[in-house]
Amino acid sequence: MTLTEKIMARASGKKSVQPGDNVWVNVDVLMTHDVCGPGTIGVFKREFGANAKVWDREKIVIIPDHYIFTADSKSNRNVDILRDFVREQGLKYFYDVIDDPDGHWAFDASKGQLKRQFGSNFAGVCHTALPAKGHTRPGEILLGTDSHTCMAGAFGEFATGIGNTDAGFVFGTGKLLLKVPETMRFWLEGKLQKGVMAKDVILDCIGDIGFDGATYRAMQFQGPGAKALNMDDRMTIANMAIEAGGKNGIFEPDEKTFAYVDVRTKANGTKTKYEPLFCDADDQQRFFYDKKFDLSKLEPTVACHPNPGNRKLAKEMSTVQLDRAYIGSCTGGKTSDFLAFAEVIKGHKVKIDTFGVPATPDVVRELQAMKMNTKTVWQVLEEAGVQMTENASCAACLGGPTDTFGRLNKPMKCISATNRNFPGRMGHLESQVFLASPYTVAASALTGHITDPRELLS
Ligand code: SF4
């Protein structure tokens, strides 16, 4: 069996499964956020009763992160709905925007977008917060009401996005009927050259198969190139499995995975025990597709408007003039992403409006503490003209209300370290978004046109 099949077999109490089987899996973690949480709660109460209790108050993780730093009152209200439900159910893991469990969230626009407006428990973007807070463990089943839940596959678990109706059912039962996907294997070998990042790897893979090339299939990343990647890089890659239509993305867990998970589960008091599963030998795994990718041959890559599979090389795109650059999101807002971005930016001035949105408050803290020579990384970015906000969230990654930080409110061309560029994704329907690595976004911010970062890094 492939790794996804092995995890699904164990979670459904079977010795083996094969693609196409429909199995009832026991869910280890169910995550929801401010956009889908209220709808999920509504489904749960409608189907299980107004006074029903969730199946396990320690297996639900609620992370407001999407439409948070906006004066839109309905969006603010969504966070209050989550808080009311958490209190009613006694849920253990709720990363609220405010500290008062009986309070109400209201973003204060008069304070501006840049300075922190969240309390001590806020965790930022759900997919980055889940591993950081110790909710991702090898061998488990993690479901979330968000398509990029597949990011947790970086930790050797089956992780996928589900709708509110399914999530409402999981709230009540802890189970879900899932069809076992076929597996596509991406065998990674070779070493990335200078200026090329994990983002380029996944943009290349998606470009190879198209934005629907893995529809309802597992994308299994294996090989020495996969093993050599750190956990942040694996997260970047697994996160974008859905951009090829993948049901999930998955890496085999190893000592790097265990070290990452063990530190964070202990630090956050979450469940520390888990039973990892590993890939079977090749003759025991059946793949729908199996292809080698030589990472040493990869070059900085861009997914052009209007979809993540529209692959081009950055060096071929220099005639595309840009209006905006954006770094942030679960895919591209980690500390390591900002460090790569700063490596290119430092000592220069950006030529176009450039927005930086850390994925989590921890990323903010790290960037404000880490030094590049005598200055903090945060200072380096601000002095280069990057508009950095402390309000870690999804922000303009998916547009949001019109006062959302960095939102494309008119037709414009934006290069972005985010993960999705379908029309209207970051705001205006006629804007164009070009997806790229933090290196490429930084180089393009400095020149005002799409730029191969190797020109500046060398
Ligand atoms: S940062 Fe973007 S992709 Fe990630 S969860 Fe938020 S909206 Fe979705």
Residue 82 Cβ contacting ligand 1 at under 6 Å: no
Would you place residue 343 in the very low, low, confident or very high pLDDT band (cuts 50, 70, 90)?
very high
Q: What is the pLDDT of residue 304?
A: 98
Cα dihedral 41, 47, 48, 52 in deg (nearest 10): 30
Residues 166 and 312 in one domain: no
Residue 386 lies in a domain: yes
Q: Percentage of the chain with pLDDT > 70?
A: 100
- The tens digit of pLDDT for each residue in 97-134 reads 999 999 999 999 999 999 999 999 999 999 999 999 99
Residues 305 and 449 in one domain: yes
Residue 160 lies in a domain: yes
For the CA of 333, the nearest atom of ligand 1: 1
Residues 173 and 320 in one domain: no
**Number of independent structural domains in the chain:** 2
Nearest CA to ligand 1 atom 2: 397
Read off the CATH number of the domain in which 88 is found. 3.30.499.10
pLDDT above 80 (res 237) = yes
Cα(128) to ligand 1 centroid in Å equals: 10
Cα(358) to ligand 1 centroid in Å equals: 12
Residue 240 Cβ contacting ligand 1 at under 6 Å: no
- Among residues 115, 147, 177, the one where a domain terminates is 177
Cα(397) to ligand 1 centroid in Å equals: 6
Residue 26 lies in a domain: yes
- The tens digit of pLDDT for each residue in 165-186 reads 999 999 999 999 999 999 999 9
Nearest CA to ligand 1 atom 4: 330
Residue 257 lies in a domain: no
Range of the domain at 46: 3-177
What is the C-alpha separation between 234 and 222, in angstroms, rounded? 11
Average pLDDT of the residues of the chain? 98
* Ligand 1 pocket mutation pick from 397, 405, 414 by most atoms within 8 angstroms of CB: 397
By three-state DSSP, how is residue 112 classified? coil
Give the DSSP letter string of 351-408: SSEEEEE-SSHHHHHHHHH-EETTEEHHHHHHHTT-EE-S--S-GGGG--STTSTT-B
What is the C-alpha separation between 169 and 295, in angstroms, rounded? 42
With beta carbons less than 8 A apart as the criterion, state whether 126 and 401 touch: no
Residue 371 burial (C-beta neighbours within 10 Å; 0-12, 13-18, 19+): exposed
Residues 313 and 450 in one domain: yes
Peptide bond between residue 276 and the one before it cis (omega within 30 degrees of 0): no
Q: Give percent helix, percent strand, percent coil of the chain, each to the nearest 5.
A: 35, 20, 45
| Main-chain dihedrals φ then ψ at residue 191, nearest 5 degrees | -115, 140
Residue 127 Cβ contacting ligand 1 at under 6 Å: yes
Residue 183 lies in a domain: no
Cα(125) to ligand 1 centroid in Å equals: 7
Residue 34 Cβ contacting ligand 1 at under 6 Å: no
Residue 252 lies in a domain: no
Residue 237 lies in a domain: no
Residue 284 lies in a domain: no
Neighbours of 194 (CB within 10 A): 9
What is the C-alpha separation between 368 and 389, in angstroms, rounded? 12
- Map tokens 């110790």 to a residue: 134
- Among residues 177, 193, 222, the one where a domain terminates is 177
User: Packing angle between helix 361-369 and helix 335-345, nearest 10 degrees?
Assistant: 40
- Among residues 177, 195, 226, the one where a domain terminates is 177
